[in-house]
Amino acid sequence: MRVLMLSLLGLVVSTTGGAATLPKLNLEPSYTVSGISSGAYMASQYHLAHADEVNGVGLIAGGPYGCAEGNLGKALSRCVGKVDDSLIVDALLRQAKARSTAGQLAAVANWATAKIWLFHGSVDKTVAREVTDAALAFYRGIVPTSNLRYVTDVAAAHGFPTLRTGAACDTATSPFLNACNYDAAGAMLQFLLGPLNPPRAEYAGGVLVFDQASYAPDGDLSLAEKGYLYVPAGCAKGERCRLHIAFHGCQQNAETIGERFVREAGYNAWAEANQLVILYPQTTASMLPLNPKACWDWWGYTDADYDTRNGNQIATVANMVAAMRR
């Protein structure tokens, strides 16, 4: 039915083995990304890898690029609930710049053009404030101060803050959507994109389930078979639109909580009113590689290139973006 409705609006959607492929859309050349927790780490990794295209980043409860240095022990000791003396932001920044010089990340000059919106809930006990402070310090070494905004005054636990959807604001529990009377998606998008039209109800046929696996260059590696795409009615008709990529957090993938993050985080209402396509890539839980909570790879469970443009998950999402361009 979703495929039929989009087709009636003029959007050509093909299928492979019963699953839709991504449609061709009239997209602006630059786009924005965001994520929560492991998704925030992935959003930052994706930004530095593709800063020639990405001009805005939203980070909720995430730390600095390269924090884990490919080591799960370091990830747990200094990048989640606490930091230790081994976390030196200047060293991470030097390492990132060296990777840029080696061609593993986008050119450093492109990093500086992005706007960066960061959020840490004041009662978040899962990711420490010092961790997101370190993310702020990292980006202060890259972009002008005017391009930064750091929100720390919302009494939210570890989760994605919404106006009314999810658990109590100060509770960290599945689906990790928190009813905080705070529209994080809206605040983020307005900072990254500039003045926007007020949100309106999402278009009923706007969520497309697509064959995500077909865009993975090296097979699974903890990526789900299906992904999600929100296409506003105007964008489905061929109008010029912007793109935003939203990375869910651990245990927030569709196989765990259904379409709740896709439909209830708050992106779609803003998207419908502002010609903004939202791509929702999806992970899956796996034991090989070891990823039981369906986190995005920010510590190296896939391969040594996980946080560069050669990493499987980053390359897969980049393939999705390329596939949608006309």
Q: Pick the catalytic residue: 47, 120, 124, 307?
A: 124
Whole-Å CA distances, 322 to 30, 48, 217, 227, 235: 12, 17, 13, 15, 17
124 is catalytic: yes
Structure-token match 């905004």, residue found: 149
Residue 28 · residue 240 · CB < 8 Å: yes
CB-based contacts of 53, cutoff 8 Å, min separation 6: 29, 30, 31, 321
Residue 303 · residue 219 · CB < 8 Å: no
Q: Pick the catalytic residue: 37, 44, 100, 222?
A: 37
47 is catalytic: no
78, containing H or E segment: helix 72-78
- How far is it, in rounded angstroms, from Cα 221 to Cα 62? 22
- How far is it, in rounded angstroms, from Cα 301 to Cα 314? 13
- How far is it, in rounded angstroms, from Cα 311 to Cα 296? 12
Burial class (CB in 10 A: 0-12, 13-18, 19+), 323: middle
Beta bridge partners of 83: none
Q: Pick the catalytic residue: 47, 50, 120, 158?
A: 158
Looking at the annotation, which residues are catalytic?
37, 124, 158
